[in-house]
Amino acid sequence: MKKALFVVTSCNVKGETGIPTGFNLAEVTHPLEKLEASGIEVTIASIKGGAAPTDGLEDMSDPVIAKYLGREDFRNAIANTIKLDDAKVSDYDAIFFAGGHGTMWDFPNSPAVLKLVPEFYESGKIVSAVCHGPAALVNVKLSDGSYLVKGKNVAAFTNGEEEEVQSTHIVPFLLADALIANGAIHHNSPNWSNNVQVDGRVITGQNPQSAASVGEELVKLLA
């Protein structure tokens, strides 16, 4: 059985603003549905472990979100995430970083992220992320000192989307700009459109609308 490690933020406040945040439920549940339907086992981790905060933006009319929140095993999984430091690359075939604004504070410089992602990639495994999840990839360097994203086609939450949600001056940096600064080839699609980029074993998606498609691409590469 193939196994994937889903990683969510442990950050529940947007910097010093006091505005609550966390991970985006759609960006976990939609890819999760695709993987589970294909028999892929998923473990959910967070930066600190334990209960992971959601961003409160879930649409309860979304049948996928409603389905998973109705499942006790899923609720237990997000209430008892494993600490990312405790995850072993050898146990998984892919790593996936879900978004939500919290990621912008605790993903980019997480020692666990900076250690594990190169290990996944350099051992021939899949690295994937959606929306603000690619914040995990911004500062990752491979063993040769180059940035993982250098020369890679990627998608991530765009400057236009950040502006539309009025967070341009709240986030510590603009995600698309940071990826480009470290050599990524960022593909910008209209706000809230489904945009997924697959570059070898790196899969990235632009926004919540891209989450299910990222899951589909993960399934393809894991098959």
Q: Is 162 known to be catalytic? A: yes
Per-residue pLDDT reduced to its tens digit, 6-32: 999 999 999 999 999 999 999 999 999
Q: Is 164 known to be catalytic? A: no
Catalytic residue of the set 27, 33, 161, 162: 162
Query: DSSP letter string over 136-189?
Result: GTTT-B-TTS-BTTTT-EE----HHHHHHTT-TTTSSS-HHHHHHHTT-EE---
Give the pLDDT confidence score for residue 81 in this predicted structure: 98
Give the pLDDT confidence score for residue 134 in this predicted structure: 99
Q: Is 131 known to be catalytic? A: yes
Give the pLDDT confidence score for residue 55 in this predicted structure: 97
Give the pLDDT confidence score for residue 115 in this predicted structure: 98
Catalytic residue of the set 11, 30, 131, 186: 131
Per-residue pLDDT reduced to its tens digit, 125-183: 999 999 999 999 999 999 999 999 999 999 999 999 999 999 999 999 999 999 999 99
Catalytic residue of the set 30, 101, 132, 186: 132
Give the pLDDT confidence score for residue 197 in this predicted structure: 99
Per-residue pLDDT reduced to its tens digit, 31-44: 999 999 999 999 99
Fold of 3-222: Rossmann fold (3.40.50)
Can you tell me the mean pLDDT for 190-200? Answer: 98
Report residue 217's pLDDT band, with 50, 70 and 90 as the boundaries: very high
Give the pLDDT confidence score for residue 61 in this predicted structure: 95
Give the pLDDT confidence score for residue 189 in this predicted structure: 98
d(CA 217, CA 192): 19
Write down the domain spans for the chain: 3-222
Per-residue pLDDT reduced to its tens digit, 60-104: 999 999 999 999 999 999 999 999 999 999 999 999 999 999 999
Give the pLDDT confidence score for residue 112 in this predicted structure: 98
Q: How far is CA 151 from CA 34, 134, 183, 186, 197, in A?
A: 28, 15, 6, 10, 13
